[in-house]
């Protein structure tokens, strides 16, 4: 009879130096037998929702953290009883944290999607390996699993049974809905299997509170939300917490300059209509953002200084010879800026496909940490909200961001006559440490010229 031993699984760094994650749900309970790479938990980082595969094969002996708890990287979250003969892992190794503190505490600088490179006491950043997608990269150093990760678990799958005294049973989408509405799930009675709280239960509770009547079924002995409540408090965590830190760091580190240009984009809108009707783009999603993104890439060829970053430690300006084009996306979890890798090498058709995939993935909350890091310049499409212009804040580590305003019909002088044309305002914010006023102005002028007359691209390439 082989001996057994207890192994602790510590929360790993799930990519790009993140320092903490929230336990959304456990997919296992104490006493469950798990296999190597079986999904045991779902956690939310500042970047994405990630499924954690087990680094061991064995029996769950303890869950150290409850759902809803924010846990620092390196802290134990679950313990297993494993066979001592093989330690229960693919390699027989231990489940030590991915990143252990060595010597003096390291400093992490905030960026839009989390925390960036570790900075040593000397002030020089430590280069990290390129992040892999999902939890596989985070666990690679711990268990080197030989098997592929399990298929993604549907987000609406009911949670496993929770012991008495834990928070109400619900799924991550339902908990998010409750947070957005300012509802304490302790006040809601679940009508789903084994008391699971559903979306309908939350909505029923809100409707009943608004009408001043008890929710049906009512939570016995628990008061509801008072009608006319004057405040709703939402914890600052996850994406919003790191976005706030990144925006403060960017606004007070990089000297921002914003310039504006209003352009007659009627020719671009006519081109867009012709492309949509052509066989080559049949079935593909084309929008003004697609054309504008391509125009940004062309303008960058003539003005490469805007595709740079400031290396404070080395006192160098790093100019990128590739373009990872960031697209700001408003998601239920907050603002994210996933980027299209090597966008400058793509055709217009390839760019349209990449944009569609990027936005669909972001809205579904499935953007991976790798897709949220490594951007070199960004676009924010504020026009979809009916806004004409703005002063966008730079994504930390980038030299420029372009804001696209709404396309509106407006009176415009065309061929020396007043006419109704389709007009767009462009806003360009840039870091004045790297980009001079002339360089920023030339880029914005080139961008406007392309959108005003797409055929002029032939003279720029």
- 365-343-320 Cα angle (round to 5): 110
Query: In terms of Cα–Cα distance, which of 30, 37, 84, 26 is closest to 60?
Result: 30
Distances in Å between the Cα of 65 and the Cα atoms of 42, 196, 362 are 12, 20, 28
Query: In terms of Cα–Cα distance, which of 393, 370, 371 is closest to 380?
Result: 393
How far out from the chain centre does Cα 29 lie?
29
With tokens 């890091």, the residue in question is 373
* C-alpha torsion 157→163→164→166, nearest 10: -60
- Contacts of residue 279, Cβ cutoff 8 Å, sequence gap at least 6: none
- 87 in helix, strand or coil? coil
Within 10 A of 220 (CB to CB), how many other CB atoms are there? 6
Distances in Å between the Cα of 29 and the Cα atoms of 39, 64, 78, 185, 214 are 12, 11, 10, 21, 34
State the DSSP H helix or E strand holding residue 298, giving kind and residue range, or none if neither: helix 288-302
How far out from the chain centre does Cα 254 lie?
22
Within 10 A of 37 (CB to CB), how many other CB atoms are there? 22
- Contacts of residue 203, Cβ cutoff 8 Å, sequence gap at least 6: none
Active-site annotation holds for 64: no
Which of the following is catalytic: 64, 256, 414, 432? 432
Measured over the CA atoms of residue 146, residue 152, residue 158 and residue 159, the dihedral's sign is: positive
| Contact by Cβ (8 Å): 427, 403 | yes
Measured over the CA atoms of residue 46, residue 50, residue 56 and residue 60, the dihedral's sign is: positive
Q: What are phi and psi of 327, to 5 degrees?
A: -125, 110
Catalytic residues: 432
């Amino acid at each position: 009879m082989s001996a057994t031993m207890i192994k602790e699984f510590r929360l790993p760094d799930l990519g790009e130096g993140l320092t903490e994650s929230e336990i959304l749900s456990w997919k296992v309970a104490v006493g469950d037998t798990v296999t190597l790479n079986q999904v045991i938990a779902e956690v939310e980082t500042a970047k994405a929702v990630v499924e954690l595969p087990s680094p061991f094969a064995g029996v769950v002996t303890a869950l150290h953290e409850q759902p809803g708890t924010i846990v620092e990287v390196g802290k134990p979250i679950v313990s297993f009883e494993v066979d001592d003969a093989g330690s229960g892992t693919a390699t027989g190794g231990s489940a030590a944290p991915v990143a252990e503190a060595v010597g003096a505490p390291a400093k992490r600088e905030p960026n839009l999607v989390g925390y960036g490179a570790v900075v040593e006491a000397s002030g020089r950043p430590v280069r990290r390996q390129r992040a892999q997608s999902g939890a596989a990269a985070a666990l690679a150093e711990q268990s080197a699993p030989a098997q592929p990760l399990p298929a993604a678990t549907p987000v609406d799958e009911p949670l496993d049974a929770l012991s008495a005294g834990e928070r109400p049973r619900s799924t991550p989408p339902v908990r998010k809905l409750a947070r957005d509405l300012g509802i304490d799930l302790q006040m809601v009675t679940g009508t789903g299997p084994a008391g699971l709280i559903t979306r309908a239960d939350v909505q029923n509770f809100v409707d009943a509170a608004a009408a001043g009547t008890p929710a049906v079924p009512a939570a016995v002995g628990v008061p509801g939300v008072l009608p006319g409540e004057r405040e709703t408090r939402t914890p600052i965590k996850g994406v919003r917490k790191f976005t706030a830190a990144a925006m403060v760091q960017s606004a007070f580190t990089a000297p921002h300059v914003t310039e504006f240009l209003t352009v007659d984009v009627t020719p671009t809108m006519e081109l867009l209509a012709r492309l949509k009707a052509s066989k080559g783009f049949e079935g593909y999603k084309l929008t003004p953002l697609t054309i504008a993104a391509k125009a940004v890439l062309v303008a960058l060829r003539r003005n490469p200084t805007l595709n740079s970053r400031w290396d404070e430690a080395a006192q160098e300006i790093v100019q990128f010879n590739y373009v990872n084009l960031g697209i700001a996306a408003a998601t239920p979890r907050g603002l994210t800026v996933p980027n299209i890798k090597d966008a400058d090498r793509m055709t217009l058709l390839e760019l349209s496909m990449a944009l569609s995939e990027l936005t669909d993935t972001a809205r579904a909350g499935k953007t991976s940490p790798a897709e949220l890091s490594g951007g070199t310049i960004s676009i924010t499409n504020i026009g979809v909200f009916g806004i004409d212009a703005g002063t966008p804040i730079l994504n930390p580590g980038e030299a420029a961001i372009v804001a696209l305003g709404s396309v509106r019909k407006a009176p415009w002088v065309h061929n020396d006559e007043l006419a109704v044309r389709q007009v767009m305002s462009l806003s360009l914010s840039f870091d004045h440490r790297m980009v001079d006023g002339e360089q920023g102005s030339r880029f914005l002028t080139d961008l406007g010229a392309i959108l005003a007359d797409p055929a002029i691209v032939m003279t720029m390439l």
